[in-house]
Amino acid sequence: MKTQVGIIGAGPAGLMLSHLLHLEGIESVILECRTREEIESTIRAGVLEQGTVDLMNEAGVGDRMMREGHLHHGIELQYSGIRQRVNMHELTGGKSIMVYPQHEVIKDLVAARLEARGEIIFGVSDVGLHDVETNSPRITFLKDGAEMELACDFIAGCDGYHGPSRQMIPASVRNEKKQIYPFGWLGVLAKTPIANPELIYANHDRGFALISQRTPEIQRHYLQVDPTEDIANWSDDRIWSELKARVETDGWELPDGPIIQKNIVSMRSFVCEPMQYGRLFIAGDAAHIVPPTGAKGLNLAMADVQVLKRGITAFYQSGDMNWLNHYSEVALRRIWKAQRFSYWMTTMLHTNFNHTSFERSVQLSELDYVTSSRAALTSLSENYIGLPFEWEKERSLQI
């Protein structure tokens, strides 16, 4: 088999890249180890930045999101039992976020690729990358027991944190920077009505809690737990009583109901520099991980592939490798700002049980400052809603 761009992974990064390349008349093939049913049902992110919403619409895949997603103009921050709304719409000059689940984004992108007769090969195994430092890289894989090979001009490694692509950047070139947090998130999907019009991020002596939403009937909530905690220790009753203890205020009650899914994820920050080697370019979680507190992971994946698409398009239009040569440098500027923001939100909102009483008081004072200073609220809003994309364009033009 032969194509222009071989893409490993049908997550948000791989699917959006393939779709954007198609709109530029560039061919790609996506290799995905899971089935279509699996990728379309895995529960992950929920918040789309303004830039991701704009991208979905500009790329012609935003119709269902605009119909079924929930536009939010702000969030609520809670600490010491006091809740305050952050009017992000007003603070950012009219921008918003969209609450629309990641697996719905996946469904929309898969449908668009298949409708345009794009090739996604599901259920592959033993994916291997070869000759990435040459102009003729190849990907080998197994499909239904048969050995296959995909020859291409470029490989896009969009295979998430555990995929094989990143490992192809030689260890002598690869610089991996990471931070592990002593926090885990217990996430639940529950059959209840929407608890609150906007998301609630709550700091509490017992630990952080996040009240989010999915549909009018099903909601998504999170509790800070020890990352080594066993989910078997968390009965539905215990989860509800802990959520209520952390988020309920005088006169505001959290609706409860049957929990239909629960799991625990640990939190880390991770960046791989550079994000390219020869004809291999890695994007999304394959290159970086953020703790979910800032809601940036999916949005960063979408940002990366826009930079990558621009580079690949420039190459096919004029043979110019300059934009591609600067892919990693351009993408990393946004990534580090998102890392900074996610780290800040995580440390400001979670309870660190190893902290001294002095450190806890400084943390509460930071929350007091952030919720009372217009400058701080503006900075929080600008970062949460997503830094503007014009910046990447301007920066690239200076190359």
Residue ranges in contact with ligand RFL by CB under 6 A: 8-14, 31-34, 39, 44-47, 102, 124, 127, 158-160, 162-164, 185, 187, 265, 284-285, 292, 295-299, 301
Q: Which of 282, 336, 308 is nearest to 169 (CA)?
A: 282
Return the residue of 31, 45, 55, 283 that touches ligand PHB, per CB under 6 A.
45
219 binds ligand PHB (CB under 6 A): no
With CB atoms as reference, the residue minimizing the distance to ligand PHB is: 46
Q: Active site residue: 292, 309, 327, 350, which one?
A: 292
| CB 291, min distance to ligand PHB, A | 9
292 binds ligand PHB (CB under 6 A): yes
Q: Active site residue: 79, 201, 222, 277, which one?
A: 201
289 binds ligand PHB (CB under 6 A): no
Nearer to ligand RFL, 122 or 360 (CB): 122
Per DSSP, 117 falls in state: T
- Dump strand ranges (E) for 278-379: 280-282, 288-289
The amino acid that residue 231 corresponds to is I
Concerning whether 384 is annotated as a catalytic residue, the answer is yes
The amino acid that residue 325 corresponds to is N
Count the Cβ atoms, other than its own, within 10 Å of residue 247.
24
For 327, residues 6+ apart whose C-beta sits below 8 A from its C-beta are: 275, 276, 281, 307, 308, 311
The amino acid that residue 384 corresponds to is Y
**Among ligand PHB, ligand RFL, none, what does residue 288 contact (CB within 5–8 Å per kind)?**
none
Q: Which of 343, 344, 350, 335 is nearest to 299 (CA)?
A: 335
- Give the whole-angstrom CA distance, residue 297 versus residue 291: 8
216 touches 193 (CB < 8 A): yes
* Biggest CA pair distance of the chain: 65
| CB 97, min distance to ligand RFL, A | 9
Strand partners, 200: 76, 211
For 132, residues 6+ apart whose C-beta sits below 8 A from its C-beta are: 155, 168, 277, 278, 279, 280
The H or E element that residue 115 is part of is helix 102-115
**Among ligand PHB, ligand RFL, none, what does residue 39 contact (CB within 5–8 Å per kind)?**
ligand RFL
| CB 280, min distance to ligand RFL, A | 14
Concerning whether 72 is annotated as a catalytic residue, the answer is yes
For 106, residues 6+ apart whose C-beta sits below 8 A from its C-beta are: 10, 11, 12, 15, 39, 40
- Give the whole-angstrom CA distance, residue 305 versus residue 310: 8
Nearer to ligand RFL, 153 or 304 (CB): 304
| CB 112, min distance to ligand RFL, A | 16
The H or E element that residue 220 is part of is strand 218-225
Q: Active site residue: 19, 296, 309, 350, which one?
A: 296
Strand partners, 31: 8, 121
355 Cα distance to chain centroid: 29
Concerning whether 201 is annotated as a catalytic residue, the answer is yes
282 binds ligand PHB (CB under 6 A): no
Q: Work out the angle between the directed axes of helices 50-58 and 297-318 (0-180°, nearest 10).
A: 40
Nearer to ligand RFL, 62 or 187 (CB): 187
Return the residue of 3, 293, 299, 339 that touches ligand PHB, per CB under 6 A.
293
| CB 251, min distance to ligand RFL, A | 28
**Among ligand PHB, ligand RFL, none, what does residue 220 contact (CB within 5–8 Å per kind)?**
ligand PHB
**Among ligand PHB, ligand RFL, none, what does residue 31 contact (CB within 5–8 Å per kind)?**
ligand RFL
Nearer to ligand RFL, 98 or 367 (CB): 98
**Among ligand PHB, ligand RFL, none, what does residue 265 contact (CB within 5–8 Å per kind)?**
ligand RFL
The H or E element that residue 133 is part of is none
Segment lying near ligand PHB (by CB under 6 A), choices 39-47, 230-238, 355-363, 391-399:
39-47
Residues that are catalytic: 72, 201, 292, 296, 384
Binding site for ligand PHB (CB under 6 A): 45-47, 199, 210, 212, 220, 292-293, 295
